[in-house]
A and B are shown apart, each in its own frame.
Chain A
Amino acid sequence: MSDVAGATTTKRARRGGGGRYGRLGQVVNELDDRLGVAKGGRTFLDKIFPDHWSFMLGEIALYSFLVLLVTGVFLTFYYVPSSALVTYHGPYLPLDGQRVTEAFASTVNLSFSVRAGLLMRQMHHWACDIFVGALVVHMARVFFTGAFRKPRELNWTIGVTLLTLAIANGFLGYSLPDDLVSGTGIRIAYSIILSIPVVGTYLAFFVFGGNFPGTAIIPRFFILHVLIIPLVILGLVGAHLALLVRQKHTQFPGPGREENNVVGSPMFPVFMAKTTGYLFGVSGVIALLGAFAQINPIWQFGPYDASRISYAVQPDFYMGFLDGALRIFPSWSFMGFGHTIPFEVTIPAVIFPGLLFGLAYAWPALERRVTGDHAIHHLLDRPSWRPKRTAVGVAALALLSALFIASSTDVIANFFHLSLNTVLWAMRVIVILSPFVAYPITYKICKELQGVHGAGKRKTPNLVVRTDEGEYVAEPTPAYPEDVHHELDPTPVPTFIEEPEPESAAPGVRIVER
């Protein structure tokens, strides 16, 4: 009897109980007996994460995405994805009795008549803005520090795809309430699809299920927005993080930090505490914004109707550069052979973003080819060490910022009492000049920074000393001991107890321990 029991229990079970970790340890032991989580779990808990603050920018994106999922699920309980017309009756008088789509009516209802509905809607929208913003900032950090270099090109590609999907899904979600402002956005999107030469018309009819606006877009956008794209994003986020764990995090060079090690805090307990706190920080900031700052008040816009339009309509910020490009592009088009190619739409809204994202995808390969650097890099660059790359990045950001500003030409003209036409022409000049001005300035600043002694080190005070002769002399104090180069003495990481592999029973057959 005891032999049979001994054969079916593990060493740890025989040692008895949960050991010094009490009931929790017991639970974990039970799990380990069945799933063998100890070995992988040990590796995972010992995972080292470098501590630099800029490495947490990606976490903002991750956690705002979590907030998006949770608030989004809440919204689906009340939102009705339908273009069917109903008469709205509710507490907001200016809409009472208007004929609106079910999509619009349900969004207004969930804002006014569902407990916490407006809070959830606003948190969802703020989380979206912060999500896309964090993706951009995180991407900039990765770009300027060279973290995309070999072996992490694949993760860079996944990241660019995530940004594209996030922008697309943001636009779809912005369109779902079917209000006056978002309807105008869909109309622009329809025209952009139409402008693609040869296939544009077919493609537009395929996407919209007929002519604009039709009744198919709301349910189609809905299923794309709440299921298909989020699933793809979720999968890619998983792959992104899995690659991060597999390839280990990059680190800035510093004392004791080499290409072949990772210096930082272990997953448990330091990083876990930090990142959990940060999760609460991100969701807290989003909740505060959702509670105190109004976003997208669709009841003030009213329902969409193709015969109505509001002036001064801008998209959410992440589409701003496209809107700006459309606004300032001269009205060139080709007409002939029974076809019209509206270059004024095709170039700024199809070709330009295509080139932009194409460049982003191709950048790691381009840089490898130009520099001839095929080595594996785990240590990051300071931006000033790579003046050309940094200058290209800043030039691209300058161009995008100029285009973003160009999306509010009317607001600028109105605010500064200028002629709209003057502002338009000024923005054309500024957009074209911005990268060419930004590049040399950035390059020069980087070159100058390279020559600065002690850049990136903490400043130490100067002591002003009066000598016996009455002369005053400023003497620099010695550097902080932590800033002086020295080897780290890491605490020893506990090693696994390795048991010798049993001998094979026969040649070619390998026995693997469970």
Chain B
Amino acid sequence: MRRPPLARVSLAAVVAALALGPLAVLVGAAGAAPGPFQTTRHNAGTPNSSQVTRNASGQVVSYGDKWITYNAPSPALTQLGQALYMENCASCHGTKANGVPAAGTVGAYPNLVGLGPATIDFWVVSGRMPAADPAAVQAPRRQPRLTPTQAEAIAAWVNSLSPSYPYIPDPHVKRANVATGMALFALNCAACHTIEGDGDALAYSTFAPSLRHIPAYQVAEAIRTGPGNMPRFTGNLSDQQVNDIVAYVTEYIQHPQNPGGFGLGQLGPVAEGFVALVIGLGVLALIAYWIGERA
């Protein structure tokens, strides 16, 4: 049976949820006045690493540090989210969002419970979900069918079933250090997305998508949640480092500095060879044809 890559994500998410569940309980038990949280290598992107804001009933509304703020989806949207979910998602992911599909559909669909709002938001707002072809190896980024508010609403409803992290990140790219961002990008991202961020084909119809037209918060969502085949970067990247990468992607990958003239689509030697042979050599051959004899 062909398992969509999301199945693997959901497996990881279930494991993460199992691990995070007790933590969440502990956080809840700590009461309305939580102490300062310890940052460890393994809890980046969760409230445990950062300053937390709670509402009157003690639920975490937002958390984060000066680099990234993670915001919970607005609870007011939960009702709308349920309706949108039933309309757009339930046929595959089941009415309880647990991956058990409606009778008559086939395939294993991921359990969404406990994935965290950032994951739900990312897949919907990037147009990957609702999937055009549920049997495809990898859902491509498309024109989104739902608006960002609708995506947030669905995330709010799924999150209401079992509150979990990470929340939707809001990176503060103005504070970032793009030099660190570039070094980290080369180390962690370029191996699949290429150093120019064009993305490329990977084995067996999977691919690393282009990073050219992606809003900053979605880049952060992808890093923190690891959609599809992408690794989930939690422990090994701090919020500051994620923010640096996001800043490098949105400021330089998406707006490359081309002081040398036309960037040739940032395609590298393939495009350069084409230009050299067809335009350079071609024009020179035409000049030769012009001044030479043609018998």
Contact A294 B263 (CB under 8 A): yes
Interface residues of A (CB under 8 A from B): 50-57, 59-60, 92-98, 111-112, 118, 122, 125-126, 129-130, 133-134, 137, 180-181, 252, 254, 274, 277-278, 281-282, 285-286, 289, 291-297, 299-302, 305, 307-317, 320, 408, 410-411, 413-414, 417-421, 423, 456
Residue of A nearest to B183 (CB): A98
For the complex, what is the distance from the CA of A186 to the CA of B288, rounded to whole Å? 37
Q: Using a CB-CB cutoff of 8 Å, which residues 253-267 of chain B contact chain A?
A: 256-264, 266-267
Whether the pair B262, A293 counts as a contact (CB closer than 8 A) is yes
A300 in contact with B287 (CB, 8 Å): no
Given contacts A293-B261, A301-B195, A305-B186, contact A281 B292 (CB under 8 A): no
Give Cα A129–Cα B208 distance, bound, in whole angstroms: 30
**Is the CB of B227 closer than 8 A to any CB of chain A?**
no
Contacts of A421 in B (CB 8 A): 203-204
Given contacts A252-B295, A293-B261, A421-B204, contact A311 B193 (CB under 8 A): yes
A residues near B274, Cβ cutoff 8 Å:
317
User: 19 A-B pairs, CB-CB below 8 angstroms?
Assistant: A93-B179, A94-B178, A98-B179, A130-B276, A252-B295, A286-B280, A289-B276, A293-B264, A295-B264, A300-B196, A302-B183, A308-B190, A311-B192, A314-B270, A315-B269, A320-B269, A419-B204, A421-B203, A421-B204
Q: Does B1 have its Cβ within 8 Å of any Cβ on chain A?
A: no
* Contact across chains for A126 and B181 when beta carbons are under 8 A apart: no
Residues of chain A contacted by B279 (CB below 8 angstroms): 289, 293
The docked-state distance in angstroms from the alpha carbon of A122 to that of B260 is 8
Query: Given A53-B292, A311-B191, A311-B194, A93 and B201 touching (CB < 8 A)?
Result: no
Contact across chains for A254 and B280 when beta carbons are under 8 A apart: no
Q: What separation, in Å, do the CA atoms of A385 and B216 have in the docked complex?
A: 64
CB-based contact B195/A302 at 8 Å: yes
Residue in chain A with minimal CB distance to B197: A300
Q: Nearest chain B CB to A356's CB is how many angstroms away?
A: 19
Interface centre among B203, B267, B273, B275 (most CB of A within 10 A): B273
Given contacts A295-B272, A296-B272, contact A285 B201 (CB under 8 A): no
Q: Which residue of B lies closest to A95 (CB)?
A: B179
Q: Tell me the minimal C-beta distance from B135 to chain A in angstroms.
A: 14
A420 touches B204 (CB 8 A): yes
Contact B293 A282 (CB under 8 A): no
Interface centre among B187, B201, B207, B270 (most CB of A within 10 A): B201
Apart from A53-B292, A302-B186, A423-B201, 4 more pairs, CB < 8 Å? A56-B292, A94-B181, A310-B196, A411-B270
Q: How far is the CB of B66 from chain A (nearest CB, A)?
A: 20
| Given A54-B288, A96-B179, A180-B190: A295 and B273 interface contact (C-beta under 8 Å) | no
- Contact B272 A137, beta carbon cutoff 8 Å: no
Q: Which of chain B's residues have a CB closer than 8 A to the CB of A301?
A: 195-196
CB neighbours (8 Å) of B191 from chain A are 308-311
Given A98-B183, A294-B263; A53-B257 close (CB under 8 Å): no
**Across the interface, do A181 and B268 meet the contact criterion of CB distance under 8 Å?**
yes
Q: What is the chain B residue whose CB lies nearest that of A252?
A: B295
Give the B interface residue count (CB, 8 A): 62
Would A53 and B182 count as touching, CB distance under 8 A?
Answer: no
Shortest CB distance B277–A (Å): 5
Q: Does B202 have its Cβ within 8 Å of any Cβ on chain A?
A: yes
**Which chain B residues border A181 with CB–CB below 8 Å?**
195, 268
Chain B residues contacting A317 (CB-CB under 8 Å) are 269-270, 272-274, 276-277
| Residues in B99-151 with C-beta less than 8 Å from chain A | 140
**B182's closest neighbor in chain A, by CB?**
A94
CB neighbours of A112 from chain B (8 A)? 259
With A289-B279, A316-B273 in contact, do A130 and B292 touch (Cβ < 8 Å)? no
Which 5 A-B pairs have CB atoms at the shortest separation, nearest pair first? Answer: A53-B292, A317-B273, A294-B260, A129-B276, A413-B201
Nearest residue, chain B, Cβ from A319: B269
A299: chain B residues at CB < 8 Å are 257
B199 touching A274 by the CB < 8 A rule?
Answer: no
Give the residues from 194 to 238 in chain B that come closer than 8 angstroms, CB to CB, to chain A. Answer: 194-196, 198-205, 207-208
B60 CB → nearest A CB, Å: 34
Shortest CB distance B134–A (Å)? 17
A310 touches B204 (CB 8 A): no
Decide yes or no whether B83 CB sits under 8 A from chain A.
no
From A111, A134, A292, A297, B284 is in contact (CB under 8 Å) with A134
Interface of chain A, main secondary structure: helix
Query: Contact at B292–A54, with CB atoms within 8 Å?
Result: yes
Q: Tell me if A312 and B292 are in contact (CB < 8 A).
A: no
CB atoms of A129 and B280 under 8 A apart: yes
CB of B163 to closest CB in A, whole Å: 37
Q: List the A side residues contacting B26 at CB < 8 Å.
A: none
A300 to B279 Cα, complex, angstroms = 24
Quote the shortest CB–CB distance from A178 to chain B (angstroms): 14
A282-B284, A293-B261, A320-B273 are known contacts. Are A418 and B201 too (CB-CB below 8 A)?
yes
The smallest beta-carbon distance between A29 and chain B, in angstroms, is 33
Given contacts A92-B257, A421-B204, contact A52 B295 (CB under 8 A): yes
B253's nearest neighbour on chain A, judged by CB, is A300
Q: For B288, list chain A residues within 8 Å (CB).
A: 53-54, 56-57, 59-60, 278
B292 touches A55 (CB 8 A): yes
How many Å lie between the Cα of A137 and that of B259 in the bound state?
A: 31
B195 partner residues in chain A, CB cutoff 8 A: 180-181, 300-302, 310
Q: Say yes or no: is B11 at the interface (Cβ < 8 Å to chain A).
A: no
Bound-state Cα–Cα, A300 to B197, Å: 10
Q: Flag if A133 contacts B272 (CB, 8 Å).
A: no
Q: Is B283 interfacial (CB 8 A cutoff)?
A: yes
A460 to chain B, nearest CB (A): 15
CB distance from A418 to the nearest CB of B (A): 7
* Residues of B close to A130: CB separation below 8 A: 276, 280-281, 284
Instruction: Give CA–CA (A411, B270) in the complex, Å.
Output: 9
Also in contact, A97 and B179, with CB within 8 A (given A254-B295, A316-B273, A317-B272): yes
In the complex the two chains form, what is the Cα distance from A278 to B270 in whole Å?
A: 27
Could you tell me if A53 and B294 are in contact, using CB atoms closer than 8 angstroms?
yes
> Which chain A residues lie closer than 8 Å to B294 at the CB level?
52-53
| B203, B283, B284 — most chain A CB neighbours (10 Å) | B284
Do the beta carbons of B201 and A410 come within 8 Å of each other? Answer: yes
Nearest chain B residue, comparing its CB with the CB of A118 = B260
Cα distance A180–B187 when bound, in Å? 11
Closest chain-B Cβ to A59's Cβ sits at a distance in Å of 8
Question: Which A-chain residue is minimally distant from B284 (CB atoms)?
Answer: A60
Nearest chain B CB to A138 CB, angstrom units: 11
| Assembly CA distance A260 to B24 (angstroms) | 97
A181-B195, A310-B194 known; A60+B281 contact, CB < 8 A = yes
Taking a contact as CB atoms closer than 8 A, the residue among B186, B258, B261, B262 that contacts A310 in the complex is: B186
Give min CB distance, A172 to chain B, whole Å. 16
* Distance between Cα atoms of A125 and B273 in the complex (Å): 11
Q: B273 CB to closest chain A CB, in angstroms?
A: 3
Residues of chain A contacted by B287 (CB below 8 angstroms): 278, 281, 285
Partner of B292, one of A52, A95, A254, A418: A52
**Interface residue B285 (Cβ < 8 Å from any Cβ of A):** yes
Give which listed residue, B179, B198, B252, B261, contacts A294 with CB less than 8 A. Answer: B261
* A132 → B minimal CB distance (Å): 9
Q: Is the CB of A300 within 8 A of B281?
A: no
